[in-house]
Chain A
Amino acid sequence: MISLMALSTLVYAALGVTVLIPIILLAMVISDYRKGELW
């Protein structure tokens, strides 16, 4: 059986990465746009 600690770590780690996704994607778009590599 998965422990409370393991479940918490799994959920918080997944949530932590997921929260960063929109920020990273927007940063990538800005970077591509500045380099003229959007399309």
Chain B
Amino acid sequence: MLPDTLGQLSPLSPTLAFIILLIFGVVWIAFGYFLGRKNETLDDYMLAGRNVGLAFATATAMATWVTSNTTMTAPQLTYQLGVWGMVGYSLGAVGLLLFAPLASRIKTVLPHGFTSGDFIRERYGKFAWRVFLLISLFYAFGWLISLGMAGGILVNALSGLRYEIGMSVIMLVCVSYTLLGGLRAVIATDFIQVIIIVVGVCIVAFLVIDNVGIERLYADVELENPMLLSMLFPAAVMFLFNNLLFGVGEIFHSNVWWSRAFAFRQNTGARAYFIAGLFWLPIPIVAGFIALAAPSLGLNVPAADMVGPLVAGNILGTAGAVIVFIVVFSALASSLDSLLAATGDLITQDIYRGHVKPGASDAQCFKAGRYIILGLGLMTWLLCLPRISTLASLLYFTGAFVASAIWPIVFGLYYRWVTGLAASLAMILGAGLGLLAYFQIGFYVAALVSAAVSLVTIVGVSLLQKKQFDFSRLSRADETSEVAQT
């Protein structure tokens, strides 16, 4: 946890930080209102009309994956784990690259689907669907709370603005424009936010190279902490594999990525996710390497997660602090809005229409969806207020859950021999033993154990059952549900 007084080290005043939040907040909300006027159907609101083009599709996939973690934790990991820290973090792009063919397959097998839950229910049956919903909602709430808390903590650390105020303003802004504009507003703001983020990290990186230089930076790190340049840093190599698997699990199962696959224009999903992955790959390196300048600048770093802002602030003064603040705010908003929209969709489609009011019409879901986003925002805000846990522990805790869903998703999309019982057991046993590993061994093995147990279970049980799934059932169910909803 960051100390409350860290903001005092920043050249950015609380007043200036509040003004920046206010200006960006008003712009995003006005934008959300403007775009929301075009939303007439549930498809418009939840899936931006299912016709999103390549440019917006690429930008939203990329922006959603660039969280405050990417811009703040990449320098932290470089500072702690060296070159492998930033390279390992950049391998988070593998999840986006591997999801590219899945996005295309999802749109083919379930063209009228709304959520990842729709696929699991039709492919594996109701029991597996409910297990999946528990995992998915647990992860979504974990990520929502950690993002909300990260907002307050980072604003406080970067400017000294009180945690409660920063967190509340960020939550209010993101909930407002998501509520008003639905996925269309989320995608449009994502496009602008990703450009702000990329330009911001490039400016800081250029100025670090210009002021310090790679040669001096390398020489000073070699002198003060040569381990950071080592290619055989055991903790860093272990982090690399865990991060890779965790990222894949997060993307494969989460409705954030599924709802985009449904929303993108036909034949766009695969290209969009592939380009987004390629574009995302260098960002943690550009954002992260600046941490290696800390020894050259003679910086005393009180908390490793503040090394990025400290380097930027040292080189650029107030201007640097403002750039970092805007980049971090944009990164937070681009993920928080996507998560609010996708979790709202999951609750509307799978809980409200799936359990509370079966057979609800699109118009009823459209209305309920707005209340659900509002309630979700309010609940997240209430849970974030007491600042219960640290960002990292919340995120890593979910690793065991998400990794257990990798194989049920991948095998279920492509292979006929995978059964509902096998998928359910794979998720239950994978998550359970992954959690056990988390507590008995450490966070770095939770995702690994979970994915391994899930793989063995799903293959073993499916082979024992010897059943064949008929994929035409998915398209039949898809057509039936579309007729019923209209």
Which residue numbers of A lie inside 8 Å of B, CB to CB?
1-2, 4, 7-8, 10-11, 13-15, 17-19, 21-22, 24-26, 28-29, 31-32, 35, 37-39
Contact = CB atoms under 8 A, between A and B. Distances in A.
Interface string B280-300: 011101100100000000000
Nearest to B83: A2
Given A18-B202, A39-B53, A25 B191 contact: yes
B275 to A, nearest CB: 8
B229 to A, nearest CB: 5
A18 B282 contact: yes
Given A7-B214, A18-B202, A25 B55 contact: yes
B358 interface: no
Q: How large is the interface on B (under 10, 10 to 19, 20 to 34, 35 or more residues)?
A: 35 or more
21 contacts: A8-B218, A11-B205, A15-B205, A17-B281, A18-B202, A18-B205, A18-B282, A21-B194, A22-B195, A22-B198, A22-B199, A24-B279, A25-B55, A25-B194, A32-B54, A32-B56, A37-B51, A37-B265, A38-B53, A38-B56, A39-B52
A38 B57 CA distance: 9
A4 B312 CA distance: 23
A7 B215 CA distance: 10
Nearest to B284: A14
B289 A11 contact: yes
A30 to B, nearest CB: 8
B218 A39 contact: no
Contacts of B83: 2, 7, 10
Interface of B: 48-49, 51-56, 58-59, 83, 87, 90, 184, 191, 194-195, 198-199, 201-202, 205-206, 209, 214-215, 218, 222, 226, 229-231, 265, 279, 281-283, 285-286, 289
Contacts of B205: 11, 15, 18
A8 B206 CA distance: 13
Nearest to A16: B282
- What 6 A-B pairs have minimum CB-CB distances, sorted nearest first? A14-B282, A28-B55, A14-B285, A32-B53, A29-B55, A37-B53
A15 B54 contact: no
A39 B87 CA distance: 35
Nearest to B56: A38
Contacts of B283: 14, 18
Contact of A39 (B49, B209, B226, B286): B49
B265 to A, nearest CB: 7
A9 to B, nearest CB: 10
Contacts of A4: 214-215, 218
A1 B230 contact: yes
Contact of A8 (B54, B214, B230, B285): B214
B198 A18 contact: yes
A3 B83 CA distance: 11
B293 to A, nearest CB: 11
Given A11-B205, A19-B202, A37-B53, 10 more contacts: A4-B218, A7-B83, A10-B87, A15-B209, A21-B279, A28-B55, A29-B55, A32-B53, A32-B55, A37-B51
A25 B58 contact: yes
A16 B231 CA distance: 23
A34 B55 CA distance: 12
A21 B191 contact: no
Given A15-B286, A39-B184, A2 B229 contact: yes
A7 B285 CA distance: 11
Q: Which of A18, A24, A26 counts the most chain B CB atoms within 10 A?
A: A18
A21 B59 CA distance: 10
A32 B206 CA distance: 31
Contacts of A13: 282
B81 to A, nearest CB: 13
A28 B53 CA distance: 9
A2 B286 CA distance: 17
Contacts of A15: 202, 205-206, 209, 282, 286
Contacts of A14: 90, 281-283, 285-286, 289
A1 B231 contact: yes
A19 B286 CA distance: 10
Contact of B282 (A8, A17, A32, A37): A17
Q: Which of A15, A25, A26, A39 counts the most chain B CB atoms within 10 A?
A: A39
